[in-house]
Amino acid sequence: MEDRAMDWEAFEAAWCDNGCRAIARLAAAHPEERLYAAAFHLFYSDGSQILPPALAANAESAVTKPYEVSTRFTPAEWRWDVIDEASEAMRPWYERLTALAQASGSEAETDALDTAHDRAIARICRKITASARQGRVHPNLPPDFVVAVLADERGDEAADLLRASVDPRVLATVPGLLSHVDSYRQ
């Protein structure tokens, strides 16, 4: 199975459109909130099925510190931990990915498909971040808004996925995100 079987450029454009639209609706519906981040998390692939990761978002007012651990970069604890409209809009693309996974002839081909998906999601994060920081998603988003892969469920891969999803120049502007990356390595 080759990556050419999947139109990754169109896939990324669809995720960017749906992600930006969902974030813009959230910002418009909650103008009193300062949304500071969005994240992809809850990735699922078992070799025969690939499901859309969840897109989450959070506001400064929803950050808590239970047990002295901040929820700032823990999407499962965020106010909007799953923005259903974005994932649902992408379901046809994931049906295609699942069909490709099921048609693969080997574990290596399925792994290559998962890797290509991870890379696409990382590029999507960078694109949405750039659009948001340029004021093209919603005027209520702050200039330091960031979108990242925050996939604690991915274990050892989590730090690499996070680093791939955030441009190093952006990473340096988001307080606490770099230390969050480093916490994966401990």
Residues 32-59 pLDDT 10s: 999 999 999 999 999 889 999 999 999 9
Residue ranges of the chain with pLDDT lower than 70?
1-4, 184-186
Contacts of residue 13, Cβ cutoff 8 Å, sequence gap at least 6: none
Residue written as tokens 């441009």? 167
Query: Quick one: pLDDT at residue 185?
Result: 62
Query: Quick one: pLDDT at residue 66?
Result: 83
The total of other beta-carbon atoms located within 10 Å of residue 172's CB is: 11
Query: Quick one: pLDDT at residue 2?
Result: 42
Query: Quick one: pLDDT at residue 4?
Result: 47
Query: Quick one: pLDDT at residue 3?
Result: 46
Query: Quick one: pLDDT at residue 105?
Result: 79
- Which residue type is seen at 124? I
Query: Quick one: pLDDT at residue 146?
Result: 98
Query: Quick one: pLDDT at residue 184?
Result: 66
Give the separation between CA 36 and CA 165, rounded to whole angstroms: 16
Query: Which residue(s) pair with 50 in the sheet?
Result: 45
The total of other beta-carbon atoms located within 10 Å of residue 30's CB is: 16
Give the separation between CA 143 and CA 136, rounded to whole angstroms: 11
Secondary structure, 3-state, the chain: CCHHHCCHHHHHHHHHHHHHHHHHHHHHHCCCCCEEEEEEECCEECCCCEECCEEEEEEHHHCCCHHHCCCCCCHHHCCECCCHHHHHHCHHHHHHHHHHHHHCCCHHHHHHHHHHHHHHHHHHHHHHHHHHHCCCCCCCCCCCCEEEECCHHHHHHHHHHHHHHCCHHHHCCCCCHHHHHHHHCC
178 near 168, Cβ under 8 Å?
no
Query: Quick one: pLDDT at residue 94?
Result: 97
